[in-house]
Amino acid sequence: MKKIAVINGPNMNMLGTREPDKYGTLSLAELTAVIAKKAAELGARCEFFADNSEGALVSAIQNASDSDGVILNAAAYTHYSLAIRDAIAAIDAPVVEVHMSNVAAREAFRRESVIAPVCMGSIAGFGIQSYILALYALLEM
Ligand code: DQA
């Protein structure tokens, strides 16, 4: 059975109440349950991790090196964390960058992703479906 790590960065623990116009009304626990259910349907298993701090995310990415793929919403760190970029580059597992909102259609600073060049690909703008699309992509590769 393929093992996929799902890693969420800062403020994603506020999903449900955080800017619902941009991120919807599902909590992180509910989002996790939807992804886990879809993974089970597809014959895969997800391991979930979420943290607000950069170092914890770096460690989670390193720890996911033995997985078959990583779905990563690095949230605001996407736009400036070279430590997270280096962690992605350091592991063999393919990493898909995801965002719930369409970052290309928001503030200028969100248009830059320092992690995109070391990810397998990026999916943004589909809410929770961004994660599901990433799951399909990783399981099909
Ligand atoms: C986000 C987009 C980021 O720019 C933002 O900082 C987030 C969430 C998204 O899922 O749309 O926290 O990654």
* Residue having the nearest C-alpha atom to atom 12 of ligand 1: 75
- Number of structural domains in the chain: 1
C-alpha span between 49 and 125 (Å, rounded): 21
Burial class (CB in 10 A: 0-12, 13-18, 19+), 56: middle
Ligand 1 atom, smallest distance to 74 CA: 13
Question: Is residue 128 predicted with pLDDT exceeding 90?
Answer: yes
Question: CATH number of the domain that 109 lies in?
Answer: 3.40.50.9100
Give the Å distance between the CA of 104 and the centre of ligand 1: 11
pLDDT of residue 106: 96
Is the CB of residue 15 less than 8 Å from the CB of residue 23? yes
pLDDT, one tens digit per residue, over 38-63 is: 999 999 999 999 999 999 999 999 99
What the block records as the tokens of 55 is: 């170092």
Q: Looking at residues 111-116, what average pLDDT do you find?
A: 98
Is the CB of residue 94 less than 8 Å from the CB of residue 29? no
C-alpha span between 27 and 37 (Å, rounded): 15
Question: Is residue 141 predicted with pLDDT exceeding 90?
Answer: no
C-alpha span between 44 and 135 (Å, rounded): 9
Catalytic residues, which ones? 23, 99
pLDDT of residue 41: 97
Q: Is the CB of 75 under 6 A from ligand 1?
A: yes
Ligand 1 atom, smallest distance to 110 CA: 4
| Residues spanned by the domain of 120 | 2-140
Q: Is the CB of 104 under 6 A from ligand 1?
A: no
